[in-house]
Amino acid sequence: MQDDEKLMAAAIAAMGRAYAPYSSFPVGAAILDENDAIHVGANIENAAYPVGNCAEASAIAAMVMAGGKRITMIAVAGGDGDLLCTPCGACRQRIREFGAGETPVLVGAADGLQRRFTLDELLPESFGPENLAD
C-alpha cells in the first residue's frame, strides 16, 4: 500500500475512536512523522462544547508524546464524503507548527482519499516558529 493510502486508512480507523456525541461528526487524523512512525487521533468532544479537541490536535499530542518532532504528512478523515473535511483554521496553524509549506495534507472520508493539498495551499503566507527565531 502507498504511504498516502496507508495514512488515510489509519485516519479512517481513528474516526472509529472519536468521541463525538454532540456533533455526531466523527473525525480521525493520522500523522506520518520524520521517522516514518504513524500517530493517530480523533475528535474528543465535551459537554462544555468549546473544551472539545479536534482530531488533528489529538494526533499532534500523540506524536509529541511518542517523541516525534516533525509532520511529514497528515491525513484527515470525516464526514460522508459530500463536502471535504478539511482541517479547521486552528488546526491548520497547529499543523504548521510541526510541518512545512510543502507538507501534504490528505483529506478523505470513510470511503477513502478525496483530495491532496499542501499546507501552503490551506494556510498561505503563514506565521510559524521561524518568525520567532533570532
Positions that interact with ligand THU (CB under 6 A): 20, 23, 25, 27, 43, 45, 52, 54-56, 87-88, 91
| 35 vs 90 by CB, closer to ligand THU | 90
CB of 26 to ligand THU, least distance (A): 8
| 38 vs 75 by CB, closer to ligand THU | 75
C-alpha pair distances (Å), 90 with each of 46, 56, 122: 18, 10, 11
C-alpha pair distances (Å), 34 with each of 24, 44, 54, 111, 124: 33, 26, 22, 27, 23
| 20 vs 64 by CB, closer to ligand THU | 20
Q: How do strand 71-78 and strand 104-109 relate by DSSP bridges?
A: parallel
- 56 flagged as catalytic: yes
Q: Which single residue is written with the C-alpha cell 486552528?
A: 90
CB of 129 to ligand THU, least distance (A): 21
Q: Which residues are marked as active site?
A: 56
